[in-house]
Amino acid sequence: MRLAEHCYRSISSIRGPLVFVEKVFAARIGETVTLRAPDGTLLEGEVLKIDGQEVLVQVFGETSGLDLEKTSVTFHDAVKRAPLSRDCLGRIFNGAFEPLDGLPMFIPQRWEAVSGAPINPVAREYPREMIETGFSAIDGLNTLIKGQKLPIFSCAGLPAQQLVARILAQARLSGEGEFIVVFVALGLSYHEFSFFEQTLQQMPSRFVAFFNLAGEPVVERLLAPRLGLTVAEDLAFNHQMDVLVIVSDMTNYCDALREISTSREELPGRRGYPGYMYSDLASLYERAGRLRDRPGSVTMLPVLTMPEDDITHPIPDLTGYITEGQIVLSREMQQKGLFPPIDVLPCLSRLMQHGIGEGQTRGDHRQLANLLYQRYAKGRELRKLAAVVGEEGLLEEDQQILAFADRFEQRFVHQGEERRDIYASLDLGIELLKEFGMELS
Amino acid sequence: MKGVVTSISGATVCVDLRGLQLYDRVYVGHARLSGEVVHLEKQRTTVQVFEDTHGLSVGEPAEGTRAPLTVALGPGLLGGIYDGLQRSLPGLQEQSGAFIRTTRPLPSIDLEKRWEFIPSKRVGDAIVKGEVYGSVREGHLAHPLYATLTGELVKVAAGDVCLAEPLLTLKGGEQQYGWQDWPVRRPRSGGQKRPAERPLITGQRCIDFLFPLLKGGVAIIPGGFGTGKTVLEQTIAKFADTDVVVYVGCGERGNEMAGLLSEFRELQDADGRPLLERTIIVANTSNMPVAARESSIFTAVTMAEYYRDMGYDVLFLADSLSRWAEALREISSSLEEIPGEEGYPTYLGSRLASFIERAGVVETASGKSGSLSMILAVSPPGADFSEPVTQACLRSAGAFYLLDTSLAHSRHFPAINWTQSYSLFAERGSAFFRQQVAESWPQLQRRCREILQQEEALREVVEVVGMEGLQDRDRLLMHAAERVRRDFLCQNSFSADAYATPQQTLERISAIVERYDQALQQLDAGTLLSEILKGQDDAAG
Ligand SMILES: Nc1ncnc2c1ncn2[C@@H]1O[C@H](COP(=O)(O)OP(=O)(O)OP(=O)(O)O)[C@@H](O)[C@H]1O
Ligand SMILES: [Mg+2]
């Protein structure tokens, strides 16, 4: 045990965000370090690997001002921790947990390791209550449940950020409880940053935000979601709040992971992403959940951009393998002028089954969702067929279904500026079915 | 044997201990994190640590045990919920709360629990290693106890006992306990292997009727995300007609495990016992340590073998084997081994094959027949089935249930693709059902397949000319095929239809085929197609 800080001036090499330090006594894995550049700039880092007295440090922040001779490295004998307090509510921070809103830093009540600890599976409560996003395509057909992780898969150029901003502003619990949004933005352009800043300013202080801009250090992109989740866990499980964590854009996170992995000269996996990306993503996504016999919940809504619109790309693919469903945005729906441009066919909320129906949303919810989905799916299939054989080649009843599919997109999926509560969404569904002579039995 | 930690990279730790063997268990650090030896070199010994290494420092102590990773086997495993190292998860919760943190050692079996022991040997008798010396009642099963020692008995316990006390004392002072440790990576060979013969009834119509599995056989379920692997595995875990079920959540979701647990606590089997009492759950979720994920399937299969060797039918389900393979890959690459295809180590295939070999039917020494069947989910990246894990599994498995993303998107569940799936047990299975359920089983099976095949061919025609362009006979066939798909192959796990007996399965398919035959006759007799179809829909309700 050292129980003390140690300072060294023995950097042997610097490679991107990675710094090798020699002749270090008893460093710890995950230990935080501070680097002081010759010009006095302070940077934080974390110990990744130790081989005898040689230590590999990953630096959060810009390493371009560091040198081998004059830079000093202090080892703090503690792992990376986040400051926690209720007073973080309503505040905006950067990816290193420094205030961006001009106010002084709050006084922490406690500190927790940012890597978190896995929830014991037997301590989990199965999620069963809905969170209302105000969008019919989500609430009605792919309901978000408290404690769920449900990603949004977007394509480059689609209005994912607008959708996120709307959810930020209008999401609500369907039951009682204190509801908070933790918003983590990764690799934002300045333009997007000011857009979100405005959105937050219009919200009462039911949020905590972490912004990492595109020009800021890559390593902070790996850190920011962990800070956000550590805060979320504290608010949820120590302050009994229901916390929705929105992380946008996870594609920037994964690219940062790849960049660091490459500079560590690790063996690349599919498309150059590291082989441990599944486990790494799981270490974030699995922090969503509820605990037995304890109020509070962490729900996650990560947003990602599918490179080349490809859902089999490792980023959406591994995400889909960990999360409990997905909301998929599509170019086709965007071209039709729908907002949100959700393609409901590949969407799924796996926890919806137990979170809707009598006593939760409404008795007819499940049946209605099934029927809408089934008719629409059939309509989409017929649309493909009609493209080849023409509408005349279809049976008369099939032409009806085709018309229904169009109407469903324009009325149910599309909602522009409108916010619909769950009952409005369900009523609209029933109305649509009636219009086409399809009724719930 | 004591030494120190010399280097650390993530969960891969080098120590300066000498003279250890591969897979020996090692404890590292002041916190005594457990790990196993994965690499031996003259200069250093590499250990893969099963727990989070944050805070570990070089120079901290390391201790070698000269014994491999083992699991405890004995009465009381049923109903247990463990992590990949067989640590009791409820026990961990008691120790460290809702979040898993580094812990003190934890017994896997409750040694204080009282059992009613009925010995079958008396003082003065001799016992031979491997022989049964008595039994206890564990839930619905008689749990025979096998000797691990040989000798003459000088003391025999009876009645109310606990596992912390010896049950037998031998001449010379050796003591026989009711439980034992077994190295997880060494298969238990509990007798003579036999060919698989009896079907394992899953209650899934598509499987039991078209692609049956035999007790002792191995099936794999590959499918992209959201295609229904987990739901299918959990549904089968509920209804399968075996004595014991071992379910491994290997690198998957915590919420799924919570759902499984709460359901299995509430649901009852035919005799009114909670399902959990015939089930052993091993849960090493995706955010729990990777090395423990790798060992989880071995931990679980060793417990499964233990019950099989008593002459019981055991079903082993793993979700998902791909996560195990990925753990193997992560460990291999941290050891800087030369990678094979897709970065997996070159020994992936042989490792998998020898694991799958642990399934099968055995005849025990007492002449009973026990079986260990496996149903393994596989999660191919991008739902591309040509990847190494699916292919390696295919070489050893007897049944292949391919889950189809497009079927899942159209909410056809279970999304088993009927043209690409197969079962090498099909013939044996249908011979059995023909004998036990109905003479017509194989014939109906053929009809069902034909209808689906013809539909496939007609679909191509429809894509060109539309439904309107089809002849009446063909329209009837399309109609029948839809019935087969919607009313027979589909089976919603969240409804009362989640389980079907073979008898019910047969009735349902024969009703569909009969109605189709009637319709064909009506058409031949000159009835209008629209009228026939209307009548059919009414009949089907
Ligand atoms: N037999 C079924 N009956 C009804 N619904 C089903 C069935 N199988 C799957 N589903 C639906 O599909 C969803 C996804 O299924 P599941 O979680 O089993 O997928 P998976 O293949 O295990 O995916 P992953 O690889 O991501 O774990 C379920 O939440 C449920 O809504
Ligand atoms: Mg699954």
Do B118 and B197 fall within a single domain? no
Q: Is the CB of residue A29 less than 8 Å from the CB of residue B56? A: yes
Query: Which ligand is nearest to the Cα of residue A322, counting in written order?
Result: 1
- Considering only CA atoms, which of A242, A194, A207 is closest in space to residue A88? A207
* pLDDT tens by residue, A235-279: 999 999 999 999 999 999 999 999 988 888 888 888 899 989 999
Nearest to B54 among A30, A122, A320 (CB): A30
Atom 15 of ligand 1, residue of closest alpha carbon: B228
What is the whole-number distance in angstroms between the Cα of residue A325 and the centre of ligand 1? 9
Residue B103 lies in a domain: no
- The total domain count for chain B is 4
Rounded distance, CA A86 to CA A98, Å?
A: 16
CA distance A189 to chain B (A): 30
Q: Which pLDDT belongs to residue B540?
A: 64
CA distance A196 to chain B (A): 31
Q: Would you say residue A83 has pLDDT above 70?
A: yes
Residue B474 lies in a domain: yes
Do B277 and B306 fall within a single domain? yes
Q: Is A127 on the interface with B (CB under 8 A)?
A: yes
Hey, of A124, A148, A343, A441, which one would you mutate to test binding to chain B, going by the most B CBs within 10 A of its CB? A124
Nearest to B253 among A324, A370, A395 (CB): A324
pLDDT band, residue B111 (cuts 50/70/90): very high
pLDDT band, residue A385 (cuts 50/70/90): confident
Cα–chain center distance at A435: 38
pLDDT band, residue A281 (cuts 50/70/90): very high
DSSP state of A119: B
* pLDDT tens by residue, B60-91: 999 998 899 999 999 999 999 999 999 999 99
Percent of chain B with pLDDT over 90: 80
DSSP state of B487: I
Query: A266 contacts in B (CB within 8 Å)?
Result: 333
Q: What is the CATH number for B535?
A: 1.10.1140.10
pLDDT band, residue A79 (cuts 50/70/90): confident
Q: Is the CB of residue B194 less than 8 Å from the CB of residue B362? A: yes
CA distance B11 to chain A (A): 10
Q: Which pLDDT belongs to residue B486?
A: 93
Q: Would you say residue A367 has pLDDT above 70?
A: yes
Do B40 and B142 fall within a single domain? no
Q: What is the CATH number for B231?
A: 3.40.50.300
Q: Would you say residue B526 has pLDDT above 80?
A: yes
What's the domain range around B478? 441-540
- Residue B41 has phi, psi (to 5 degrees) of -135, 165
Report the mean per-residue pLDDT for chain B.
Answer: 93
Q: Which pLDDT belongs to residue B366?
A: 78
- Outline where DSSP puts E strands in A31-134: 31-36, 42-51, 54-60, 72-79, 81-84, 92-94, 110-113, 124-125, 130-132
* pLDDT tens by residue, B243-288: 999 999 999 999 999 999 999 988 887 778 889 999 999 999 999 9
Domain ranges of chain A: 6-79, 82-354, 366-435
**3-state percent helix, strand, coil for chain A, nearest multiple of 5:** 35, 25, 35
Query: What pTM was computed for the model?
Result: 0.94
- Considering only CA atoms, which of B373, B371, B389 is closest in space to residue B381? B389
CB contact under 8 A, B225 and A394: no
* pLDDT tens by residue, A200-238: 988 877 899 999 999 888 888 999 999 999 999 999 999
Query: In the structure, which protein residues have their CB atom closer than 6 angstroms to any atom of ligand 1?
Result: A 321, 348, 350, 353; B 223, 225-231, 379, 413-414, 492-494
Kindly give the number of the ligand 1 atom that is closest to the alpha carbon of B493. 3
Q: What is the CATH number for B174?
A: 2.40.50.100
pLDDT band, residue B541 (cuts 50/70/90): low
Nearest to A394 among B97, B255, B467 (CB): B467
* pLDDT tens by residue, B482-524: 999 999 999 999 889 999 999 999 999 999 999 999 999 999 9
Fold of A6-79: Thrombin, subunit H (2.40.10)
Do B284 and B368 fall within a single domain? yes
Q: Which of B178, B203, B218 is the last residue of a domain?
A: B178
pLDDT-wise least confident of A5-9, B114-118, B423-427: A5-9
Q: Is the CB of residue B166 less than 8 Å from the CB of residue B156? A: no
Residue B448 lies in a domain: yes
Nearest to B226 among A282, A320, A373 (CB): A320
Q: Which pLDDT belongs to residue A1?
A: 45
Cα–chain center distance at A341: 19
Q: Which of B205, B220, B221, B231 to mutate to test the pocket of ligand 1 (most atoms within 8 A of CB)?
A: B231
Rounded distance, CA B336 to CA B233, Å?
A: 35
Q: Would you say residue A391 has pLDDT above 90?
A: no
Percent of chain B with pLDDT over 70: 99
Do B298 and B153 fall within a single domain? no
Query: B59 contacts in A (CB within 8 Å)?
Result: 26
Q: Closest residue of B to A386, CA-based?
A: B466
Hey, of A278, A312, A384, A392, which one would you mutate to test binding to chain B, going by the most B CBs within 10 A of its CB? A278
Q: Is the CB of residue B220 less than 8 Å from the CB of residue A87? A: no
Hey, of B9, B33, B58, which one would you mutate to test binding to chain A, going by the most A CBs within 10 A of its CB? B58
Burial of A353 (0-12, 13-18, 19+ CB in 10 A): middle
Q: Which residues numbered 95-124 in A keep a CB inside 8 Å of some CB on B?
A: 113, 115-124
CA distance A166 to chain B (A): 27
CB contact under 8 A, A118 and B258: no
Do B205 and B328 fall within a single domain? yes
- Residue B259 has phi, psi (to 5 degrees) of -65, -45
* pLDDT tens by residue, B119-131: 999 999 999 998 9
Q: What's the rounded mean pLDDT across residues A407-417?
A: 96
Q: Is the CB of residue A351 less than 8 Å from the CB of residue A148? A: yes
Do B239 and B348 fall within a single domain? yes
Do B154 and B63 fall within a single domain? no
pLDDT band, residue B190 (cuts 50/70/90): low
Do B163 and B226 fall within a single domain? no
Q: Is A29 on the interface with B (CB under 8 A)?
A: yes
Query: A294 contacts in B (CB within 8 Å)?
Result: 98
Query: 3-state SS string over A340-364?
Result: CCECCCCCEECCHHHCCCCCCCCCC
* CATH architecture designation of domain A82-354: 3-Layer(aba) Sandwich (3.40)
Which ipTM value was assigned to this complex?
Answer: 0.91
